Chain A
């Protein structure tokens, strides 16, 4: 791999039994795996359903070629267990004592039917169990389902995202789910930390709905504001950037868009420097009445739009950085992939896959100086570690053969 394999990992010695699927749960355990925890991913026969979702490596579909799967499962081991069979269930019970924490994403009704509730798992072995559910274990919506979109609609601040008179908008991609995964990772590591300090184990419950309700992406604030003041956030009347009283919003330029904030005060002066218009530092630009006038708006528009139109995002961002103006380009993922500065910093890495060869992978979300984030292994192929894990759980070769024959493992 591209990182120093000899360096210690922050989560060395921690074992996670990962019973989650799809996006939020696997992201939580990926975060732990990439920091050095051993993560044993238990897949259902046929595999984690995320394997059916693209994008695909070189646009060629296949259960090992899913980008979502490959990203979300780096550094994990895979064992396939049919938990509805006696043999699969027993194998799970023999693996559970290996774990410091088990992480589940079963809906409550499914967990109850299969005997996989946190309390049932904790009855098998003295381990921490973190459950990630849609709506928690109680309440009127307990058994309801969620998609990324419905989660953001109900839990997140979709209501004020978009334009008035049109439908509210979701975030890009499946962001509300990766966000919830990050919260679950804190909960899981918090539980393991409590074990290491206090010698106790416990269950930790995280609901996707609750995580989004408390999102600081305007949501927790909007709810606090309503409770305090009775005001709600509406989607804005006027779509589009504003100039005059403050240059705020997204503006077109020669090769795309930039977002800037140049409200009154120091930000305005930096803006004036950025577009090389020292006359905009005149005290009249501190006067609210002038700033709100049509003349002021026209003066700004005449100066700003041509300046932007003649320049690329890279040129504009450089001018902004030199002036310390509050501005950034809108990047697509392709821009981010090709950007030489982020490349040099190491945002992207490569993984070596047993059957697919080398391919690029989105790299570290953070750099830890002494215990570096590292991909030590690509996401596992389906059941790649089944035999080794069963052996570790105490099964001999004949027993493994029998389990395979019965379909309990694969």
Chain B
């Protein structure tokens, strides 16, 4: 075990929250870093371990499934240890608790920083500074540390005080305006968090690059990743069309940014059976026409090129929609792929769990039942290394699960001091009474 892990011996002092931050450090943990989540039992970080610290089953039922579909629809007494939204991004990490607002807690945090190689945070602006942990203080504890900040809109400029979650940051990055129906205003958009995913990966990559530089030169550094700026790189075509041609691109629905015609999502036979289809080339279109049985509407000579098809995109879409509506999604998917047309089902979460390809993919790793959740396939790292043991090595860290490891093994706190910190409420596996509403 632990063979050839790239980041073996690297320690991360992890103040990250929500998805963007927690996934950034997760990628380092996946690659072998000892990633230690610093958790304050007197502070509830929104959208970090669960929707809420106290989550009665009926309330969970009213929240979206992805946010609050806990085991058996009952979050139980410790929602923070079994949230479907968050615990899987705490894989391969460790967790310890400390109230860093009190002097003895701050001293513990500083002693952890002193033996860490990375500090990552995306807390609300000013939180670390208020604790007395600005960059200078962090560097005083560990001069060659790599620091990652993930502000929403930057640490300088007029937008520093802008507050938001992924959905709001996606708005500024230009994601939201690009993803509605062509015939509806953006009011009908549902919230998505494309930027959280993108930012998390970029945060992980930037820290990895900075660690590589540090390994060669001994020099640490500070990384500032403004989430809205980073997320803009998801949409280079829109960005450069604006910069080069002064064009403000709006939503094109399910049509293709790359000019593929047809490109869309169509209802197949049955309820909620959707098929996505793209003709990425004229050859794919020809294969589709052949599969359709070369009906008259499809064999017009001008349809042989994407440009020609674009002029009749509405008509092509409505003919296809009528044809697909009468057919079985799975059969179309397999048949079209076999003849060389890019098509695939819109897989719901349920469909994924029954999908023969997903079920044999390395994307999942089964974890045995614990007190907090049943035996379940959890997401595993999305890259497989042939020699380094990059996998789901340890299950999601429960709140305070590694208190003993951090306080005793890493920091060498004495029995007596440990007992004192425990009595003082620093060392715990639950949240403080005021958080729990007790």
Contacts and interface: CB of A to CB of B under 8 A. Distances in A.
B171 A328 contact: yes
Given A53-B258, A336-B173, A153 B235 contact: no
A73 to B, nearest CB: 11
A172 B73 contact: no
A205 interface: yes
A362 B261 CA distance: 28
Interface of B is mostly: mixed
A270 to B, nearest CB: 8
A333 B238 contact: yes
B356 to A, nearest CB: 5
A328 B178 contact: no
A348 B337 CA distance: 41
Contacts of B158: 321, 341
Given A186-B204, A186-B383, A161 B192 contact: yes
A173 B249 CA distance: 10
A400 B210 CA distance: 39
A175 B175 contact: yes
A223 B6 CA distance: 29
B266 A167 contact: yes
Nearest to A364: B229
Given A321-B161, A345-B157, A59 B245 contact: yes
Nearest to A259: B171
Interface string A23-43: 000000001000100000000
A222 B168 contact: no
B429 interface: no
Interface string A161-195: 11100111111111100110011111101111110
Interface in A341-400: 341-342, 344-345, 347-348, 359-362, 364-371
Contacts, number: 548
Nearest to B152: A328
B311 interface: no
Nearest to A350: B243
B40 interface: no
A317 interface: yes
Contacts of A235: 190
Contacts of A326: 163-165, 168
Interface string B248-283: 111101101111100111110000101011101000
Nearest to B249: A333
Contacts of B357: 135, 139-141, 209
Nearest to B148: A366
B186 A257 contact: yes
A223 B244 contact: no
A84 interface: no
Interface in B23-69: 23, 27, 31, 64-69
B350 interface: yes
Nearest to A142: B357
B208 A228 contact: no
Most-contacted residue by chain A among B8, B194, B205, B272 (CB, 10 A): B205
B242 interface: yes
B244 A55 contact: yes
B265 A167 contact: yes
A363 to B, nearest CB: 8
A254 interface: no
A345 B156 contact: yes
A148 interface: yes
Contacts of B176: 250, 259, 330
B209 A223 contact: no
Given A10-B212, A178-B233, A145 B247 contact: no
A218 B192 contact: yes
Nearest to B125: A324
B85 interface: yes
Contacts of B226: 345
Given A183-B201, A229-B69, A321-B161, A58 B244 contact: yes
10 contacts: A70-B240, A136-B362, A169-B253, A173-B257, A179-B201, A209-B358, A257-B185, A321-B163, A326-B168, A371-B221
Given A56-B244, A70-B240, A226-B349, 14 more contacts: A67-B236, A161-B192, A179-B198, A191-B6, A191-B388, A193-B211, A216-B89, A216-B197, A218-B192, A250-B187, A261-B165, A333-B248, A366-B223, A368-B221
